[in-house]
Amino acid sequence: MSKQNYERIWATVNAIPIGKVSSYGQIADLAGLPGRARLVGKSLGQIPKGRKVNWHRVLRSNGQLAFDKASEQAQRQKGLLQEENVVVLNNRVNMKEFNWRPDLSELLHTLQF
DNA sequence: TCCTTGACATTTT
DNA sequence: TAAAATGCCAAGG
């Protein structure tokens, strides 16, 4: 049951277009789990090996990366984002510019609701 | 069933 | 603007 939620979360995360970012709360909502932002974080920490999820496009609601600036994960995330032309300054992203505005019809198509 | 934990969010200092 | 307090809910032990 929770596994299904994880799958849905991962699918939603993968629906984020290149060059855009989203937040945990936003992903939770889109995945049909309003108010379960923490579950999103948990699911991202439980990604099975061999499963490809672009977790680097998910950050906190204020645009900050969810890791310590010095952490390796943060560095990797920063690099991955910059490869997609997303500007990362002082461990945070300009949400006003890069926040993803999901296209509902496209989302429905991707998630097969 | 109770208690702790968490890659969070929102409100208040 | 930044840090702290409070709320939230699912998972695991």
Q: Quote the pLDDT of residue A104.
A: 79
Nucleotide nearest to A60 (CA to C1'): B8
| Closest-lying nucleotide for A44 based on CA to C1' | B7
Residue A17 per-residue DSSP state: P
pLDDT of the residue at A2: 66
Residues 92-111/A with CB < 7 A to strand B: none
pLDDT of the residue at A110: 78
Give the pLDDT score at A3: 76
3-state secondary structure labels for all residues of A42-65: HHHHCCCCCCCCCHHHEECCCCEC
Using 70 as the pLDDT threshold, list the residues of chain A that sit under it: 1-2, 112-113
A40 touches strand B (CB under 7 A): yes
- Domains of chain A plus CATH, in order, are 2-111 (1.10.10.10)
